[in-house]
A and B are shown apart, each in its own frame.
Chain A
Amino acid sequence: MSNRKKAYTTTKSGHGIRQITSMRLFLPIVCLLAVLLVNVITTPNFFVISMSGNGVLSGYIVDVVNRASELVILAVGMTLVTAASGGQDISVGAVMAVAAAVCCQILSGGEVSVNSLANPIILGIVAAILASALCGAFNGFLVAKLNIQPMVATLILFTAGRGIAQLVTNGQITYIRVGSYQVMGGYIGKCPIPTPIFIAIAVVIIVSLILKKTALGLYIESVGINGTASRLVGLNSTMIKFLTYVICGVMAGIAGVVASSRIYSADANNIGLNLEMDAILAVALGGNVLGGGKFSLMGSVIGAYTIQALTTTLYAMSVKGDQLPVYKAIVVIIIVIIQSPVFKQFLANRKAKQASVVKGGN
Chain B
Amino acid sequence: MRKKILATALSLTMAATLLVGCGGGGQDASSDTASDKGGGDKKEIVVGFSQVGAESDWRTANSESMKSTFSEENGYKLIFDDAQQKQENQITAIRNFIQQEVNYIILAPVTETGWDTVLKEAKDAEIPVIIVDRMVEVSDDSLYTAWVGSNFKLEGQKACEWLKAYAEAKGMKEINIVDIQGTIGASAQIGRTEALNEAVKANGWNLVAQQTGEFTQAKGQEVMESILKKGDDINVVYCENDNEAFGAIDAIKAAGKTVGPDGDILVMSFDTVKDGITKTMEGEIICNTECNPLHGPRVEEIIKKLEDGATPDKQAYVKEGIYAHSDDVTKVTIDGTDYEVTKVTQEVIDKRAY
Interface residues of A (CB under 8 A from B): 45, 52-56, 58-60, 63, 67, 113, 146-147, 163, 166, 170-173, 175, 186, 259, 262-263, 265, 267, 269-271, 312, 315-316, 318, 320-322, 324
Q: Which residue of B lies closest to A177 (CB)?
A: B275
Is the Cβ of A271 less than 8 Å from the Cβ of B6? no
Q: Which residue of B lies closest to A320 (CB)?
A: B210
Instruction: Assess whether B45 is interfacial by the CB under 8 Å rule.
Output: no
Is the Cβ of A146 less than 8 Å from the Cβ of B217? no
Is the Cβ of A262 less than 8 Å from the Cβ of B221? yes
Bound complex: CA of A324 vs CA of B53, how far in Å? 29
A270 CB contact (under 8 Å) in B185, B210, B216: B216
* 3 closest Cβ pairs, A-B complex: A53-B256, A321-B212, A54-B256
Residues of chain B within 8 A of A170, CB atoms compared: 54
Is the Cβ of B212 less than 8 Å from the Cβ of A263? no
Say what secondary structure dominates the interface of chain A.
loop
Bound complex: CA of A318 vs CA of B211, how far in Å? 7
Most interface-central of B6, B226, B250 (chain A CB within 10 A): B226
Bound complex: CA of A172 vs CA of B225, how far in Å? 26
Q: Which residue of B lies closest to A315 (CB)?
A: B226
B218 CB contact (under 8 Å) in A59, A172, A263, A315: A263
A269 CB contact (under 8 Å) in B5, B60, B85, B250: B85
Is the Cβ of B226 less than 8 Å from the Cβ of A263? no
Residues of chain A within 8 A of B275, CB atoms compared: 113, 175
B223 CB contact (under 8 Å) in A45, A56, A173, A315: A315
Is the Cβ of B255 less than 8 Å from the Cβ of A58? yes
Task: State which size class the interface on B falls in.
Answer: 35 or more
Residues of chain B within 8 A of A60, CB atoms compared: 226, 229
Is the Cβ of B218 less than 8 Å from the Cβ of A262? yes
Bound complex: CA of A58 vs CA of B225, how far in Å? 9
Bound complex: CA of A58 vs CA of B255, how far in Å? 7
Is the Cβ of B217 less than 8 Å from the Cβ of A263? yes
| B277, chain A: closest CB distance, angstroms | 14
Instruction: Assess whether B84 is interfacial by the CB under 8 Å rule.
Output: yes
Instruction: Assess whether B181 is interfacial by the CB under 8 Å rule.
Output: yes
Instruction: Assess whether B55 is interfacial by the CB under 8 Å rule.
Output: yes
Is the Cβ of A56 less than 8 Å from the Cβ of B254? yes
Is the Cβ of A173 less than 8 Å from the Cβ of B56? yes
Residues of chain A within 8 A of B60, CB atoms compared: 172
27 A–B pairs (Cβ distance < 8 Å), ordered by A: A53-B256, A54-B256, A58-B255, A59-B229, A60-B229, A63-B229, A67-B222, A146-B6, A166-B84, A171-B55, A171-B84, A172-B54, A172-B57, A175-B275, A259-B218, A262-B221, A263-B218, A263-B247, A267-B217, A269-B55, A269-B85, A271-B218, A316-B230, A318-B211, A320-B210, A321-B184, A321-B210
Q: Which residue of B lies closest to A312 (CB)?
A: B226
Residues facing A in B28-83 (CB within 8 A) are: 53-57, 60
Residues of chain A within 8 A of B181, CB atoms compared: 321
Bound complex: CA of A130 vs CA of B20, how far in Å? 29
Instruction: Assess whether B257 is interfacial by the CB under 8 Å rule.
Output: yes
| A34, chain B: closest CB distance, angstroms | 20
| A197, chain B: closest CB distance, angstroms | 14
| A73, chain B: closest CB distance, angstroms | 16
Is the Cβ of A324 less than 8 Å from the Cβ of B212? yes
Q: A270-B218, A318-B209, A320-B210 are in contact. Are A146 and B2 (CB under 8 A)?
A: yes
Residues of chain B within 8 A of A265, CB atoms compared: 217
Is the Cβ of B256 less than 8 Å from the Cβ of A52? yes
Residues of chain A within 8 A of B154, CB atoms compared: none
How many inter-chain residue pairs (CB < 8 Å) link A and B? 90
| B249, chain A: closest CB distance, angstroms | 12
Most interface-central of A175, A315, A316 (chain B CB within 10 A): A315
Is the Cβ of A63 less than 8 Å from the Cβ of B225? yes
| A353, chain B: closest CB distance, angstroms | 45
Residues facing A in B253-269 (CB within 8 A) are: 254-257
Q: A53-B257, A270-B216 are in contact. Are A315 and B211 (CB under 8 A)?
A: yes
Residues of chain B within 8 A of A45, CB atoms compared: 229
Q: Which residue of A lies closest to B220 (CB)?
A: A263
Q: Which residue of B lies closest to A48 (CB)?
A: B229
Residues of chain B within 8 A of A147, CB atoms compared: 2
Bound complex: CA of A67 vs CA of B254, how far in Å? 14
Instruction: Assess whether B227 is interfacial by the CB under 8 Å rule.
Output: yes
Against A, the Cβ 8 Å flags (1 = close, 0 = not) of B193-212 are 00000000000000001111
| B255, chain A: closest CB distance, angstroms | 5
Residues of chain A within 8 A of B223, CB atoms compared: 315
| A271, chain B: closest CB distance, angstroms | 7
Bound complex: CA of A324 vs CA of B184, how far in Å? 10
| B131, chain A: closest CB distance, angstroms | 22
Residues of chain A within 8 A of B221, CB atoms compared: 262-263
Q: A113-B275, A171-B53 are in contact. Are A53 and B255 (CB under 8 A)?
A: yes
Bound complex: CA of A163 vs CA of B86, how far in Å? 10
Is the Cβ of A267 less than 8 Å from the Cβ of B216? yes
Is the Cβ of A322 less than 8 Å from the Cβ of B184? yes
| A210, chain B: closest CB distance, angstroms | 30
Bound complex: CA of A262 vs CA of B226, how far in Å? 15
Bound complex: CA of A10 vs CA of B55, how far in Å? 64
Residues facing A in B219-255 (CB within 8 A) are: 221-223, 225-227, 229-230, 246-247, 250, 254-255
Most interface-central of A171, A262, A312 (chain B CB within 10 A): A171
Residues of chain B within 8 A of A146, CB atoms compared: 2, 5-6
Contacts A45-B229, A55-B256, A147-B2 aside, 15 further interface pairs with beta carbons under 8 A come to: A52-B254, A53-B255, A53-B257, A54-B255, A56-B254, A63-B225, A170-B54, A172-B56, A186-B254, A263-B218, A267-B217, A271-B218, A312-B226, A316-B229, A324-B212
Bound complex: CA of A58 vs CA of B6, how far in Å? 54
Residues of chain A within 8 A of B6, CB atoms compared: 146
Against A, the Cβ 8 Å flags (1 = close, 0 = not) of B178-196 are 0001001100000000000
Q: Which residue of A lies closest to B6 (CB)?
A: A146
Residues of chain B within 8 A of A54, CB atoms compared: 254-256
Residues of chain B within 8 A of A324, CB atoms compared: 212
Most interface-central of B56, B211, B218 (chain A CB within 10 A): B218
Is the Cβ of B226 less than 8 Å from the Cβ of A316? yes
| B350, chain A: closest CB distance, angstroms | 17
